[in-house]
Amino acid sequence: MMHSAAGAMELLAASQEAGGVVVVGMNSGDAGELSYANNSDMQRTIAAATRKERQEMAAAVRRGRRQARAIAIADLGCATGPNALLMAGDAVEAMLGDAERQQEAAPAEFHVFLNDLPSNDFNSVFRQKQKLVVPSNNANSSRCLVSAWPGSFYGRVFPADSLDYVVSSSSLHFLSRAPADAAPNEGRMYVSASSSSSSSSRVLHAYRAQFQADFRLFLSCRAEEVRRGGVLLLTFVARREAVPSPHDCHLWDLLAEAAADDRRLVDSFDAPFYGPCPEELREAIREEGSFQVTRMELFEVSRSRSCQFQADLDQLAAQTSSTIRAVVEPMLGPHFGWDAMDALFRRYTHLLHNYYRHNNDQLTNVFLALHKI
């Protein structure tokens, strides 16, 4: 079943009216060492894992748009910091390189649209804009025009039929809201693999339904914005099996344990986060109906393939804790109290250290390549 953009907006409005935890953005640059900009190395590693495929598809888009004066590139959830222009820069580089290899004229202009929530520090991103300066030569010169488009990607952001190449990395595992039907979720902040109880099954069903609704909404909005033959390249946290494993849930399980001093607050907090399995993705894409899957690949990323020494474990736990804090502290602070954050994340670092003594830190991601039908 294909959903219209109007229907998508109705879904979004209903979701917001239902309440729940809403993603409010990452730690800003004002947070200094705790900012997302200073703690986004893992996201860069994830982006690097898909760079070759993304650049191949960028080159293919250019060849399919040979007569176009301009090509529009959008990054959904660009955030801030050193990665903010990375995805768009990779695409521009690939298109220019392909034009040179084919001995063809490059597009006269690249229109780069950067999207994130209105709270994102776009000013700091624009101070880095020189990273997207397009080289010119005597035969060809191209201009790269960069603009910011604030707003949730769970709604329309761009004009109709305006985009050719759309990327989003490390963003779509965040839902528009926590599922209302997940409560009560005793002692947990997320789905659990701890038991096969009816309560755990109910929570998983609620999260799965919220993800399906959100992902269909995302796709239906992009269907209005992407030109026929354009591409969506999406990378986000996922899982391999229909039933979550303990490792799939460990980051949120340990966070709940770190906050367990106030069980009431833990029980009333559900993370607006979900890592889907492949069949859940296929189902949502099939039901929305506007895109064809050309690639779906699961892959693992890790900060450290082996931790043989105590110092390695200390560093691994500390870096992981800092990354998670930079991402989720704006959600946790209003709920658990900002004064509690330092102690909570000290406990979290300790729990991660103990976990990594016996388990790896690999994180499953999915790379999705979708073509507009």
- Return the CATH number at 19: 3.40.50.150
The answer to whether residue 79 sits within a structural domain is yes
Encoding tokens for residue 265? 């607050």
How far is Cα 324 from Cα 196, in angstroms, rounded to an integer? 27
Convert 53-75 to b/e letters by CB count within 10 Å (16 or more is b).
Answer: ebbebbbbbbeebeeeeebbbbb
pLDDT of 245 higher than 60: yes
| Residue 33 confidence class, pLDDT cut points 50, 70, 90 | confident
Among the residue ranges 5-9, 265-269, 299-303, 324-328, the one predicted with the least confidence is: 5-9
Domain that holds residue 123: 5-26+39-242+271-303+361-372
Close Cβ partners of 78 (under 8 Å, ≥ 6 residues apart):
84, 85, 87, 88, 114, 115, 116, 120, 125
pLDDT of 84 higher than 50: yes
Predicted confidence at residue 41, as pLDDT, reads: 86
The answer to whether residue 290 sits within a structural domain is yes
Among the residue ranges 62-71, 118-127, 220-229, 238-247, the one predicted with the least confidence is: 118-127
CB atoms within 10 A of CB 155: 17
The answer to whether residue 351 sits within a structural domain is no
The answer to whether residue 247 sits within a structural domain is no
Give which of 79, 282, 277 is closest to 167, Cα–Cα.
79
| Residue 11 confidence class, pLDDT cut points 50, 70, 90 | very low
Provide the CA 289 distance to its chain's centre, in angstroms.
22
The answer to whether residue 219 sits within a structural domain is yes
Close Cβ partners of 232 (under 8 Å, ≥ 6 residues apart):
166, 167, 168, 219, 222, 226, 291, 368, 369, 370, 371, 372
Encoding tokens for residue 5? 């953009």
pLDDT of 128 higher than 90: no
The answer to whether residue 285 sits within a structural domain is yes
Provide the CA 57 distance to its chain's centre, in angstroms.
19
Region 28-39: mean pLDDT is 66
Region 96-100: mean pLDDT is 95
The answer to whether residue 32 sits within a structural domain is no
Among the residue ranges 11-20, 124-133, 159-168, the one predicted with the least confidence is: 11-20
How far is Cα 224 from Cα 226, in angstroms, rounded to an integer? 6
Is the Cβ–Cβ distance between 264 and 196 less than 8 Å? no
SS3 state at 133: coil
Is the Cβ–Cβ distance between 281 and 215 less than 8 Å? yes
Predicted confidence at residue 229, as pLDDT, reads: 94
Region 120-142: mean pLDDT is 72
Q: Residue holding tokens 């704006």?
A: 330
| Residue 10 confidence class, pLDDT cut points 50, 70, 90 | very low
Predicted confidence at residue 48, as pLDDT, reads: 95
Count up the domains in the chain and report the number: 1
Q: What is the pLDDT of residues 191-238, one digit of tens each?
A: 988 655 677 889 999 999 999 999 999 999 999 999 999 999 999 999
The answer to whether residue 347 sits within a structural domain is no
